[in-house]
Structure formats: C-alpha cells, structure tokens
Structure 1
Amino acid sequence: MSNQAVANRYASALFQLAKEKHDLKKIQEELQVVKSVVESTPQLVQFLTHPKVTVAKKQAFIQESFKGLSNVSLNTILMLIDRKRTDILVPMIDKYKELAYAAQDMAEAIVYSTKPLSEKEQDHIAKVFAKKAKKSKLDIKNIVDSELIGGIKIRIGDRIYDGTVKAQLDKLERNIVAGTR
C-alpha cells in the first residue's frame, strides 16, 4: 500500500475522531503548527526516522516539545512514531486539512500578490471568491511574488484566477506572435 493511501487512512480516522469531539478546527490548527515545525526543522525528521533512537526517546521528545497539543493530536503523532510511520506525518496532515475544510464548506485560497495584502483586502478577496468557488468561506494564504508586476493571482484547489499584469502581457505577446488581436 502506498504511503499516500496509508496517510489518507490515518487522516480519515483522525477526522472522524475530531468530528465526534467537535474539535475539527482546533485539531486542524494544531496539526498545521506541527507541519510547519516538521517542514522547517530537518533535524527533527532525521531524529524521528533514525533507527538507533528508541521509540520511547522519540515519543518523550515529542511529548516534551508539543506540550500544548490536545490529546487527540499528540496521541496521533505518538502512534505514528510507535508504528514507525513518521514518514506519512505531513501527507496525513494535508489530507486531514482537506477533509476538515470539506466538512466546514471551506477551501484554501493561495493569493499571489506583489505586496503583502492587508486584512481588509484579504477579507474582500475571501468574500468575492468564496462565491465563485461555491464555498461558504475561504482561508486566504498570501504569498508575495515580485515577478507579477501588478495585480493578483488566486489559486483555489485546481482553479487559477489570474488577474496579473504579467499574465496580460504574456497573453498580448502570444496574440502578437500568432498575428491576431
């Protein structure tokens, strides 16, 4: 069985447990913190996958490092360590986020802009594009991309709304090369 399939199963089980406890959002936020720590700390991944470090030491380290996590989140991570499945931690978190967003009629929107967007601008984009995505709410993640020249590009799932100056210039170039207007 592929790692993604295993990650999906763990995420589904965690999602069902979180749903029963009415903690979808809290657990999702906690897991995003864990994901950012794992992705920004390669030494942690090396430690968790090192064959000479005992499972007990790995679990003790995680318990000490992530004291603020709920029992559900912490026990899930400890179980992955016990079953030697820490390699699926990030894919499991991503799948859980997908399931939690679907249950809350939400989606993540990645907004590329030339400068950081204010809260007011992000709220406006969330309201306008939530309707287009047929969701009740969007979670905006702003990424600054200086190559855009101006405007914004929004990615919601597999859909891209590109209102950047760079995209318009590229389209104009293609039309000129093709000989059309």
Structure 2
Amino acid sequence: MSNPTIAKRYAAALFDVASANGLLNTVEDELRVVKEVFQSNPGLAAVLKSPKLAAEKKKALLQSSFAGASTYVQNLLMVLSDRHREEIIPEVADQFIELSNSAKGLAEAKVYSVKPLSDAQKEALSLAFAPKVGKTALRIENITDSNLLGGVKLRIGNRIFDGSLRGKLDRLERRLLG
C-alpha cells in the first residue's frame, strides 16, 4: 500500500472522530501547525526515522513537541509512531485538510502576484474563481513573484488560471512562432 493511501486512511479516521466531536476546525488548525513544524525542521523527520532512537524516546519527543495539541492529534501522532509511520505525518495532515476543506466547500489556492494582495482583492478572487472549481470559497495563500510583470496567476489543485502579463506574453510568443 502506498503512502498516500495509508495517509488518507489515518486522515479519514481522524476526520470522523473530529467531526463527531465538533472539533473539526481545532484539529485542522493543529494539524497545520504540525505540518509547518515538520516542513520547517527537516531534522525532526530524520530523527524520527532513525533506528538508533528508541520508540519510547520518539514518542516522548512527539509528545513534548506537540504538548499543546488536542488529545486527538496527540493520539494520532502516537499511533503513527507505534506503527513506525512517522514519515507520513505531514501527508496525513494534508489529507485531513483536504477532507476538511471538502466538507466546508473550500479549496486551497495559491495566488501569485507582483505585490501582496489586499483582503478585498483576495475576497474578489475567491468569489470569482470558487464557482469555477465547484466550491463556495477559496482559502488563498498569496505568493509574490516579480517575474509575472503584472496580473495574477492562480493555482487551485491541479488547475492553473494564468492572467499574468508574463503568461500573456508567453502565449503570444507561442502563437507568433507556431
């Protein structure tokens, strides 16, 4: 069984428990923090993979690192540690966030722009593009990219909407050369 399949099963189990207890937003926020900690500290994953570190010490490290998390998130981390699946913790967080967004009618979107977007601009983009992907709203992460020259480029899942000046120039060049 591949890691995405395994991660999806753990995420689905946690999603069921969190939604049954009305803690969907809390658990999602905590898993975002867990994912961020793993992404910003690649050494943590390396330490947890190490066969030299005893299982009890790995669990103690996870418990101390995420002491402020709910019992559901801590239990998930302990189960993954017991089953030697520490490397899929960020993937489980991604799968859980995807399930949570789907239940709320949200989609994650990366918006590339020349300068940071205001809240009003983010809201306008959300209202314009959410229906195009069958969602009610977008959770926007704004990334500044000076190579765009102007306009915006959106990435929602595996779909890209390119309204940037750089994209328009590239399309014009391909048309003229082709």
The two structures share one fold, judged by TM-score above 0.5: yes
Unaligned regions of 5+ residues in structure 1, if any? none
- What's the TM-score once normalised by structure 2's chain length? 0.95
Q: How does 1:68-107 map to 2 (within 5 A)?
A: 68-107=68-107
What is residue 48 of structure 1 aligned with on the other side?
A: 48
Instruction: Report the secondary structure of 2:143's partner residue.
Output: strand
1:139 aligns with 2:139: yes
Write the letter of the residue equivalent to 2:22.
H
Number of residue pairs matched by the alignment: 178
Distance of 2:89 and 2:63 partners within structure 1: 16
Stretches of 4+ aligned residues off by more than 6 angstroms: none
Match of 2:169 in 1: 169
CA distance in 1, matches of 2:11, 2:66: 19
Distance in 2 of aligned mates of 1:2 and 1:61: 26
Distance in structure 2 (CA, Å) of the matches to 1:10 and 1:52: 26
Q: How far off is 1:86 after superposition?
A: 0.6
- The equivalent residue for 2:119 is 119
1:10 CA drift (Å):
0.8
Q: Look up the match of 2:8.
A: 8
RMSD: 1.2
For 1:45 and 1:158, the matched residues in 2 are separated by 27
* TM value normalised by structure 1: 0.93
- Offset at 1:132? 2.2
Alpha-carbon shift at residue 134 of structure 1 (Å): 2.3
- Cα distance in 1 for partners of 2:176, 2:37 equals 48
Which residue pairs with 1:17 in the alignment? Answer: 17
Q: Structure 2: state its 5+ residue gaps.
A: none
**Separation in structure 2 between the aligned mates of residue 37 and residue 11 of structure 1, nearest angstrom:** 18
Q: 1:66 matched to which residue of 2?
A: 66
Amino acid aligned to 2:120: K
1:53-75 Cα shifts (integer Å, max 9, x gaps): 11111111221121211111111
Aligned: 1:160 with 2:160? yes
Fraction of identical pairs, as percent: 44
